[in-house]
Amino acid sequence: MGCCYSTAMGCCYSFCKEDSGPQSGEVSERTHLLVDPVSNTTNILHVHSDDYVNHYASSVPKKTDEQSALNRILHETAANVIDIGALDSHNLEQHEYMDRSKAYSKRIETVGVKVPDISSCLLTDIPAPERILSTEPLPSADRQLIKDMLDKAVSALGDVKVEHKEDLVVPFLS
Amino acid sequence: MERNLEKTMDDVINTEGVIGCILADHQGLCLGAKGKASGDSAGLIAAIADQAAKLEPGSKSPIIYLQNDTRQCLIHRQGPVVAAIYKQVSS
């Protein structure tokens, strides 16, 4: 099959060559508008069809080389790409989290590294919030206390006046 | 003069469980502080009262009640005055 094909191609090439050969000087309907790159490479055109078959046969393993090269590129690309969708999402369970936290803090203790405490927060965490959350939101006594205090404070603030005692401007030389 | 303000704070301090109190004006400037309370907190307290009031605009000014294991802090604004009372948690 390959043999027939290559022979036909060889004929075709030789035909073209013979055809275009004598007319190379003048312009006709058969003149190539573009310079044929193949006909410029003299090597192939002057090759005999048998030689061409050999040449073609020797180029067959090259084709598999190309295929394997493509495969190699494909594999390399696949190896370099991190497919996030295919990764298993590893969610830490609560006890796992605690275990790790314990392990890490133990390790830090043994090494003796002091982790700097950079959090200077106005509100701090409390160990057992349930006790505080379960208590009454605001005792009525406390509410009354602060309301009374503010009532008095507002009226007391209204009493604050500037008392005129002495002149602000004092003549130095009199 | 400010004698009434002083008396108001003294009365509160003498209430059982109260360990300190602060009065601040509408700008957060300290009007007075008694007991275990610093006048430096006046600005913070006024800011807390203002921010908490923004949670429900249009309603009456809230009483903010902060609490930890040992102490409680009540913050409230009335007109131009913001007050804070610190209390010891009775256990």
ipTM topping 0.90: no
Instruction: Record the pTM.
Output: 0.49
More confident of the two residues B35 and A2:
B35
**What proportion of chain B, given as a percentage, has pLDDT over 70?**
98
List domains and CATH numbers for chain B.
Answer: 2-88 (3.30.450.30)
Cβ of B86: how many Cβ atoms within 10 Å? 20
The pLDDT tens digits for A42-89 are: 444 454 555 555 555 555 556 789 999 999 999 999 888 887 766 665
Tell me the chain A residues in contact with residue B4 when contact means C-beta distances shorter than 8 Å. 152, 155-156, 159
Element housing B67 (H / E): strand B63-67
CA B71 distance to own-chain centroid: 14
Span A83-118, pLDDT tens digits? 776 666 567 778 888 899 899 889 888 888 777 766
Calculate the average pLDDT of chain B.
90
pLDDT tens, B4-30?
888 889 999 998 899 999 999 989 999
Q: Where along chain A do its domains lie? A: 43-82
Q: Where residue A121 falls among pLDDT bands split at 50, 70, 90? A: low
The chain B residues in contact with chain A (CB within 8 A) are 1-2, 4-5, 7-9, 11-12, 15, 18, 21, 23, 25, 31, 44, 63, 65-69, 72, 74, 76-81, 83, 85, 87
Rounded to a whole number, what is the distance in angstroms from the first to the last CA of chain A?
A: 132
Cβ-based contacts under 8 A for chains A and B: 78
Q: b vs e for A84-111, b when ≥16 Cβ sit within 10 Å of the residue's Cβ? A: eeeeeeeeeeeeeeeeeeeeeeeeeeee
- Please answer yes or no on whether A152 and B63 come within 8 Å at the CB atom: no
